[in-house]
Amino acid sequence: MTDSARFTLISHILCPYVQRAVITLKELAVPYKRIDIDLTNKPDWFLALSPLGKVPVLVIDDGTVLFESEVICEYINEVNRGKLLAEDPLEKAEQKSWIEFASTSLNLIDQLYQAADKATFLQIQQQLEHLGQTLEDNLVRAEYFSNNKFSLVDAAFAPAFRELPLFEKLSGQHFFQHLPKLVLWAQYVLDRNSVIEAVSKDYQQQLMAFLAKQESYLGQLARAQVASKSSG
Ligand SMILES: N[C@@H](CCC(=O)N[C@@H](CS)C(=O)NCC(=O)O)C(=O)O
């Protein structure tokens, strides 16, 4: 990060969509400035800037505001002559289809956070497991999703790969740990420097603390885990 950067990324410490943009910036070694905001108390300047009131927002030094994580990632890739998407139109369109699939998965994960009870949680978990199986069936056994080269598809899924193991641990439910090609792919993605550096070192603790404050079923599980740790 630097102060003289062309790009300012308005962010939140835990937001998975922000992570996609950060991974892209880091993959391409693009300097940027990051501003984390509190989404429970959005600053007025942010509300004036962000058409949907959501992060990430990328502010370019000429004042242009970009929103929607995938639009931001594609733009950063394009203006830096990045190779994070294929050149061939069909191959690129196929990659974008899978990026949409990743976004659907993240939306379901959002619903998991909010599921009020176990039955709702399990219903969403089954939908996610089904998406995991579909991915497994479409994966070749390789490090990365497309032609074994790190791409925006990997960046789009990375935040889900980071979150789901914690949910598996808390709930005792399978999301994807039983799918061998998916597990291998997720590990390669999670070991990538850009992915590691897309969140702060205390991300896992921050995520647990966030979960423990939620009224949802996941919140109950997180509070039970915190309580059992402090009593043991
Ligand atoms: N489709 C958007 C989703 C972004 C999103 O949902 N961001 C969340 C945080 S992870 C947010 O800003 N939520 C605030 C709100 O909805 O009020 C993208 O890909 O950028």
Q: What is the mean pLDDT of residues 133-141?
A: 92
Which of 9, 11, 12, 17 best tests ligand 1's pocket when mutated (most atoms within 8 Å of CB)?
A: 17
- Any idea what DSSP says for residue 58? E
The proportion of the chain whose per-residue pLDDT surpasses 70, expressed as a percent, equals: 98
- Write down all domains in the chain, each with its CATH number in brackets: 7-79 (3.40.30.10), 91-196 (1.20.1050.10)
Q: What is the pLDDT of residues 9-38, one digit of tens each?
A: 999 999 999 999 999 999 999 999 999 999
pLDDT of 92 over the 90 cut: yes
pLDDT of 230 over the 90 cut: no
Per-residue pLDDT at 4 = 65
Q: Would you say the CB of residue 58 lies under 6 angstroms from ligand 1?
A: no
- The Cβ of residue 187 has, within 10 Å, a number of other Cβ atoms equal to 11
Q: Three-state DSSP class for 33? A: strand
Per-residue pLDDT at 70 = 98
Q: Which residue of the set 15, 72, 153, 164 is catalytic? A: 15
**Ligand 1 nearest atom to the CA of residue 70, by list position:** 19
Q: Would you say the CB of residue 55 lies under 6 angstroms from ligand 1?
A: yes
Q: Is residue 124 within 8 Å of 111, Cβ to Cβ?
A: yes
Show Cβ contacts of residue 67 under 8 Å, excluding neighbours closer than 6 positions. 50, 51, 52, 54, 56, 57, 58
Across the chain, what does the average pLDDT equal?
A: 94
| Gap between the Cα atoms of 49 and 16, Å rounded | 20
Q: What is the mean pLDDT of residues 87-92?
A: 96
Q: Is residue 208 within 8 Å of 223, Cβ to Cβ?
A: no
Which of 50, 54, 57, 152 best tests ligand 1's pocket when mutated (most atoms within 8 Å of CB)?
A: 54
Q: What is the pLDDT of residues 59-86, one digit of tens each?
A: 999 999 999 999 999 999 999 999 999 9
> Annotated catalytic, 15?
yes
Q: What is the mean pLDDT of residues 89-94?
A: 96
pLDDT of 2 over the 70 cut: no
Which of 18, 38, 55, 152 best tests ligand 1's pocket when mutated (most atoms within 8 Å of CB)?
A: 55
| Gap between the Cα atoms of 60 and 31, Å rounded | 12
Q: Is residue 198 within 8 Å of 19, Cβ to Cβ?
A: yes
Per-residue pLDDT at 1 = 47
Per-residue pLDDT at 147 = 80
Q: Would you say the CB of residue 162 lies under 6 angstroms from ligand 1?
A: no
Q: What is the pLDDT of residues 161-192, one digit of tens each?
A: 999 999 999 999 888 988 999 999 999 999 99
**Ligand 1 nearest atom to the CA of residue 15, by list position:** 10
Q: What is the pLDDT of residues 35-62, one digit of tens each?
A: 999 999 999 999 999 999 999 999 999 9
| Gap between the Cα atoms of 197 and 186, Å rounded | 16
Q: Determine which residue's CA is closest to atom 15 belonging to ligand 1.
A: 54
Q: Which residues, listed in sequence order, are joined to residue 33 by a DSSP beta bridge?
A: 8
